[in-house]
Amino acid sequence: MANSQAFIQFYDEPMWESIRAQRWALQQCDDCSQYQYPPGPCCPHCLSLSMSWKPLSGKGKIISWVVFHRQYFDNYKPPYNVVAVQLTEGPLVISNLVGPEPEGGWIGREVTICYEPNAEQGSIPKVMLSEPPAA
């Protein structure tokens, strides 16, 4: 087995630079204002070639989740969760929820982006609940 790692290509490098700086940025279309993930050469909404890198608000909502009980990578020991998060800006990203798990349902829970140190990439974006569970 091996560690999971990012496969960084030409369009991804500015995004990973912003993640290393712990200020995640994505491409935003200069013509229709839609955010784009994953990064690419043109806007998938209006096909404009004019894109700018803009920092994210750091907020989103869980729209799906799963807990893996099998190990696929050395750096993810089971059990571990994977969440699909709809960012406030629109794109859907896949990450891990860190900190306490939600009481009751996960779907619709508001999350905030946080960063976990990583030897290969410098840091990895994760999410945590915006409001911790009541004690």
pLDDT, tens digit, 9 for 90 and up, residues 78-106: 999 999 999 999 999 999 999 988 888 89
Q: What is the DSSP letter of 41?
A: S
Confidence (pLDDT) at 135? 54
d(CA 102, CA 23): 25
Model pTM score: 0.89
Q: Which helix (H) or strand (E) holds 83?
A: strand 80-87
d(CA 110, CA 86): 10
Report the relative pairing of strands 51-55 and 80-87 from DSSP bridges. unpaired
Confidence (pLDDT) at 120? 78
φ, ψ for residue 73, nearest 5 deg:
-135, 145
Above 60 in pLDDT, residue 134? no
pLDDT band at 133 (very low <50, low <70, confident <90, very high): low
Above 70 in pLDDT, residue 130? yes
